[in-house]
Each structure stands twice: as C-alpha cells, then as structure tokens.
Structure 1
C-alpha cells in the first residue's frame, strides 16, 4: 500500500455520520433482515443493521444521507429504483475521491483490495466505477441500503 493513499485519508475527507449528527438525525442500530439500512422520514432517523463493518456503516450512512438530501420518502416502484441508483451514485462520489480512486487502482490487485484501501464496500466501489464509465444502469437495485 503506497503511503500517499490510505483509508484514513478517505474517511477524513467525508464523514456521513458527522453530517447526520449535524442535521440532528439519529442513527439506530437494529437487527435487519433484508437490508443494511433505511431512512425513516416518519421517525426522522436512519436505521442500520447491527454487525456491519466500519466500511459498511460508512457506505450505508452515506447512501441514506443522499435519500434525506433528496427528500426521498420510499424506495418502491420505478421511482424507488431511480432513487436507489441516485443515492448509490452520489454517495460513491462523496466517499471516493477521483485522486484516491485512480492512485489506488494503479497498484491494487483486486476489487476487494481497492475497496478496502478506499474504505468502502465493493458495491459502492462498483457504483463509482460505473458512474465514471457513464452510468449506473447495470445496478438493478441497491445492496447498500433501502
């Protein structure tokens, strides 16, 4: 791992947990069966699955924050799919800086190694890669969150 690129640097650049805290939106950890996280406008809280890794938590919170910023109230139907794609794409842009992405891509030997270096999940890494290649149409649904 080159000294100039690191997970700690990426986390300093964008901290979705701090953003949610500044907005007064609590994060609640619960056992969730079918998703990693959800924004509950009714309760004005983000619920995330218990047992997630730090990178997973960071990505889920960034994804849910994008739902909040967009004013999303649900993720069902055709509009829900668009909202999921948008949340993944915008979260990935904030979580993965271009300089960090391309620097680490030069030496990382696998997708998993690249994601670990950037402090993100492979799903968010793929969303960033798809975005850089012109779109996220390949994403059928979000595995990051709801």
Structure 2
C-alpha cells in the first residue's frame, strides 16, 4: 500500500508516494509547463525554480497521471486525462475539513490557498469539483 493511501490534505505528500513507487523526480528547465509525466523515462520531470507549494501541486497532478496509466495529453482523451488528474490531485491536496476550517477566516483565495499549502489553481480545481465540475477551467500551467 502506498504511503499516501488515505492521506489527504495538509499531510498529503506526493513526492514520498512517487519515491515509494520508484519513480524519480527530475528537475530541469521546461519551456511552457511546470511538470510532465514521462512514461518512456519512467520519471516525473518538474520545472526548475518552483516554490515548494507549486512543486507539491505539480507532483500531485503528475502522480495522478502515473496512477491512471496516462501516456499523453493530446487530443480529446488528453483533455479528459488532464481534467481527471487535476480533479483527483485537488481532492488529495485539499481535505474538506481543512477547506471548511480555513474558509471561515481567509479573506480571499490567495490567503486560503496559502493556508492549505496549494496553488490558487489547485484551489479553483477543488472548488469546481465541489460545484460538480461545471466551472472547470481547462488545462493549467501545471498540466502535462
């Protein structure tokens, strides 16, 4: 059983889960994305220079591609894979109990995202999921 099985919210650690699965995390310059799951290399590639919160969200997203067996992000199937990865990652990154607690005092989405240790993009994806997915915004900068 993976380390993170059943762990959600602030304690969720996608890097530890990738490590336990034997999937290396490679860091390098990426032109137009923050992360990529590379089945050919059996590795997750993450852009240099991300903040710890950005990297955590990227790794959660890419881990969902790994778990789903995704092999690419092009075409209609790719868009569906991106939406699935974004939604599943947001569910693991943001526990409902954490969300409810922090929403009581956070002044805006930036403060809420900071309290939850996620990007505003992950926060919006979780909000859209809680709204039934109707407001999903398409692909994100972290998609790949």
| TM-score normalized with structure 1 length | 0.90
Divergent runs of 4+, >4 A = none
Contact 2:25 2:44 in 1 (8 A): yes
Deviation at 1:16, TM superposition (A): 0.1
Q: For structure 2, list consecutive stretches of 5 or more residues without a partner in the other structure.
A: 1-7
- Superposition deviation, residue 78 in structure 1: 0.6
CA positional deviation for 1:141? 1.2
Superposition deviation, residue 48 in structure 1: 0.3
Match of 2:101 among 85, 90, 103: 103
Aligned with 2:61 (options 60, 63, 74): 63
Equivalent of residue 33 in structure 2, options 32, 35, 40: 35
How far apart are the structure 2 equivalents of 1:74 and 1:63? Answer: 14
1:131 and 2:135 aligned: no
RMSD after superposition: 1.3
Q: Residue in 1 aligned with 2:77?
A: 79
Residues matched between the structures, number? 137
Structure 2 CA distance for aligned equivalents of residues 71 and 23 of structure 1 = 13
Query: Per-residue displacement from partner, 1:66-119 (whole Å, max 9, x unpaired)?
Result: 000000000000110110010000000001000000110110001110000000
Aligned residue in 1 for 2:42: 44
Change in Cα spacing, 1:77 to 1:31, as seen in structure 2 (3 Å) is same
Instruction: State how far apart, in whole Å, the 2-side matches of 1:72 and 1:139 are.
Output: 20
Range that drifts further, 70-79 or 132-141: 132-141
TM-score normalised to the size of structure 2?
0.91
